[in-house]
Each structure stands twice: as C-alpha cells, then as structure tokens.
Chains A and B, each alone.
Chain A
Amino acid sequence: MTTAVSSSSSLSSRAKTWWTILRISLEERFVYRGDFALGTLMRFLPIITQVFLWGAIFAASGNNAIQGYTANAVVAYYMLTMISRAFSSMPGLCSGIALQVRDGEIKKYLIQPIDLLGFLLITRVAHKLCYYAIAIIPFTLVFYLCRGFFENGWPEATVLVAYGLALTMGFLLGFFIEASLGLVSFWFLEVTSLVFVYNLLNFFLSGHMFPLDLLPEWANQMVRLLPFQYLAYFPAAVFLGRIEQDELWFGLGVEACWLLAFVVLSRVMLNRGIHRYSGFGG
C-alpha cells in the first residue's frame, strides 16, 4: 500500500516537474512572438524565386512534367518541405549540448533528478508548440494564397494520418539525430564542424534543396538507404500522394526503425559519456 502511494505520488510529482519545464519554456518562447511571426513569413520568400526558377526550367524543357512533377507540384513540394523542416529541424540543439558539456553546465543533470535527454526533449516540444502556435498564422496565409499549386487538393484520410505520423516521427528523428551529434562532445569538445557537415548533408540529402526523385537513379537508390529523407522529403512526398499505399506503411516502419536506432544510440552515448566526463571547480 505504501509503495503504491509513494510510486503514484512520485509519478505525479514527476509529471508536475515536466509540466513546469514545459510551461517555463513556453513562456520563455512567447516573449519574442512578433519576431517569430515576421521571421516565419520571411521564410517563404525563397519560395517565390523557386516559383519563377522552376517556371523557367519547365518552359525551356518543353515538358509538362519532370519525373512526375509538374511545375506546380514542385512548388507544392517546396512548400511542404517547409512544414517538414518546421518539425524536424532542431536549431541550437547540438551546439547547446556541446556548450553545456564544455562549460560544465551538464553537471546539473548529474546532481538534479532530471534526465538530460528528457529535459531537452520537453523543452524542444515546448519550443515547437509555441512555434506552431504562432507560425500557423503565416503558414495558413501562405498555403491559402498558394492553394493553386496543390493540383490534387487534399489527400484522403489515411494519407493524412500517415502524413501526421511521418511528421511526428520526423520531429523525434531530427531530435535524436542531433542529440546524438551533440553528445559526441563528450569525446571531442568542439563539434561545430561536425554540425556543419550534418547540416550540409541534411540540406542536400533530405530533399530540402530539391525533390529527391530528380536524382539519377543510382544516387536516388543510395539516398533512400539513409535516414535524412525522413526529415523533409518523405512527409512531403506522402502528402503529395507520390508514395503508394503499401510503400507508405513500409516507409513509416523504416522511419520508426531509424528513430529507435537513434534513441538507443543517444541513450548509450549519454551513459558512456557521463562515465567519461570529469567536472572541475564550482
């Protein structure tokens, strides 16, 4: 009886801790809401140049479609990758972890009963929630104005569910990949160059720069074996209905496996890293 009571009270106190963390982070984020909304709207500006660039490419190519993409579909694709990236990008996560390891702030997680990865994840969820709460306004506006680029309209319900799953897992995958990179700082203090290489590969291989289907067949095959595509290409392709029903669930399954792999990896790295870590001074 006593154990039951204590365990339930510890559960509720733990939930309370997480809730407090979430609330504080939310409040922190809402301070710069004006900057946020404006910044998000600005982010769509490059889409304008993409509209004209691809318009010119299609006009000169003399084809209506390139690898199954019409000029409109390419623009729709770019817009959708903006959503994918809004979920999967983790600005400052990796460098933040590295900084905490370097300047010793990481000690607080060793002393306080808070799990580093859990804390960071909750903070990130708060960050993202807050971001969506504000960003939904410019996003809705831009998507409404640009609805003409979506030639097929809304996809059917199952596809939408898969899309939601792909985005959510994209968020988690992005988080755990970057967290693992950040944890490398237990071994190498400086991870800036590593982050850079990651961002570079990510930009190209995730499909953020162009639809991956445009790659030559051999390159396309190779890129599909990597986890990057789930951070931008895959959700967008799901929404555009470019992925067949049976492939859809298979793709989500593979994404889940990647996610699991990086969860385990980051856990192992954290444990090993903490054992290596030595903190000095106050």
Chain B
Amino acid sequence: MAGYRPSYSRVFLTFARNSLVRDMSFRTNFILQSISTVSWTIMNIGFYLIVFQYTDSIGEDTGWGRDEFFVFLATTWIINSLVQTFFMPNAQQFSELIRSGNLDFALLKPIDTQFVISFPRVDWAALSNLFMGLTLLGYSLFQLTTRETNPLILDWRAVLMYPFYIACGTVIMYSVMITLASTSVWLGRNQTLYNFWFYITNFSRYPMEIYKVGWGMALWVFFTFLIPVLLVVNIPARIMAKPLNTMETHYWQLAGYSIFATLICLTVSRRIFVRALKSYRSASS
C-alpha cells in the first residue's frame, strides 16, 4: 500500500469523461447553457462597440484601440472559460462538501485531496466561451494585421508566449478560487463564493493602465503584487495585441514577475488548502 501511486492523468480523464456523459444525457440543457454563455459574451461585445463609438481607445495613449482591446477581451474570455470549465463547479461543490460533511469521502480516497476536490466535475458547456474567445481573437488579430496604417506583424515569440501566459493566468485564477473556497471551512458556509470571485476578478478585466491615475495606483499595486489578478489577462493580452519590440521595460519585468507570482500563488493556496483541511470537522455523527 505504501508504494501505491494513483495515475492522476487517468483519474482526470475519467472525471472528464463522466462529466461529458452526464452533460450529454441532458442535451437540451447543455445546448441552452452553451447558448446562454455565448449570449453574455455577445452582449459584452455590444457594450464595448457602444463605448468605441465615443472613443478611439481605452485610456489616453495606452494603445488599447478597438481591435487591440478586443484581443484583450478575447484573452479574458479564454482564461475565464478555462476557469469556469475546470474549476468553478468544483470550487462551489467544495463549500457544499464541507457544509454537508461529505468531504469525509474525499479525505478517505487514496489520492491527493486537493486534486480530487479540484477536478471531479468538468463543465463542458462553459467551454463554448473558449470558442468565442478564440474566434474574437482570430478576428481582431486579422483586423490588426491587415489594417492599412501600422499593421501588426505577428512575432513567433509572442505566439509562443501567449499560451504560456494564458496557462499562468489560469493557474493564478485557480489559486485565488481554491483559497476562497477553502475559507468555507472556517465560515461553515460560503454561498457568496461566486460573488467574491466575480468582484475580485472584475479588476482583472480591464487594461492595467486605467488604474494608473490618482488613488488607482494603490489598487494597481494591490492587484499586481498582493493578489496578482491584474497580471492574469494583461500580460498575455499585451504580448499578443501590440508589437513586442515596443513593449516597455517595466512590462517585461512584470511578465517575468508573473511567472514568479504564479508559483507563489500556487504554493500559498496549497498551504491554505492544507491548513483548511486540518481545521475541518466533519458535520455528521
């Protein structure tokens, strides 16, 4: 028994397959959910199309024109859809497991508890936003590279770095989420998890330049260094949307720091999770 090591990839594949089977048994619901996720994103575009009727860019001299910003928006959707597909349903379930005492069953399994908490449910319908994100990304990159004045030339380094930083961003988001979910051990119940999550990640949805005025600097520091959600979308979006050779030194520094921040977030959230488990007292007799 001591040398037993479960195959994590196979367990994960089983989780994913089970979820897919489950989603497919309620096919209409699945389609409706996909449509609904997609409609939210379309509405979002609608909002920004209206905004860009009145301005050429978000922030003065920030370079976030319409198409650049749509790359930003696409990046937001891609990361959010990954989080919502793989982690969101599980984090919500985690608070419920604690409240009902069913966490006992997860603790008893011969596999890492954080793994078995984080991955059992895959919300395949949320993946529809990934396609929306990729479509918007493709469209706006096409617009950027084929525009007449100052067209963007895609750099192969940017193309390589983009998915890497998307992954980093997703990990940061996951860490924030699992930390929030862990607090339900102490709170007994955390129904507002989704709200908290929304309010915190809300700060990550805009180019960081907009915060760099007045007391926004404090927010910028807080959400870059303490809870680094501002790096999540900003770094990959900046790398992809604007030419790399014009990227300022401090952006490169932030990009480097972002890797470090990802590791720190993962470690800290792991520690909080383990500590939360230690404080867990089962609910039933």
Residue numbers of A with Cβ under 8 A of B are 35, 38-39, 42-43, 45-46, 48-49, 52-53, 55-61, 63, 66-67, 192-193, 196-197, 200, 203-204, 209-210, 214-216
Contacts and interface: CB of A to CB of B under 8 A. Distances in A.
A82 B216 CA distance: 22
Interface in B4-63: 32, 36, 39-40, 43, 46-47, 50-51, 53-60, 62
Nearest to A200: B39
B36 A196 contact: yes
Majority-rule SS of B interface residues: helix
20 contacts: A38-B192, A43-B195, A49-B203, A53-B58, A53-B210, A55-B210, A56-B59, A56-B206, A56-B209, A60-B57, A60-B58, A61-B54, A66-B54, A197-B39, A203-B43, A210-B50, A214-B50, A214-B54, A216-B50, A216-B53
Interface residues of B, number: 34
Given A66-B54, A204-B43, A52 B199 contact: no
Nearest to A51: B216
Given A49-B205, A200-B43, A39 B192 contact: yes
Interface of B: 32, 36, 39-40, 43, 46-47, 50-51, 53-60, 62, 191-192, 195-196, 199, 202-203, 205-207, 209-211, 213, 216, 219
Contacts of A58: 55
Contact of A42 (B53, B195, B206): B195
Contacts of B60: 56, 59-60
Contacts of B203: 48-49
Nearest to B190: A35
Contacts of B213: 52, 55
Given A53-B58, A66-B54, A210-B50, 9 more contacts: A45-B202, A52-B206, A56-B59, A56-B206, A60-B56, A60-B57, A63-B54, A197-B39, A204-B46
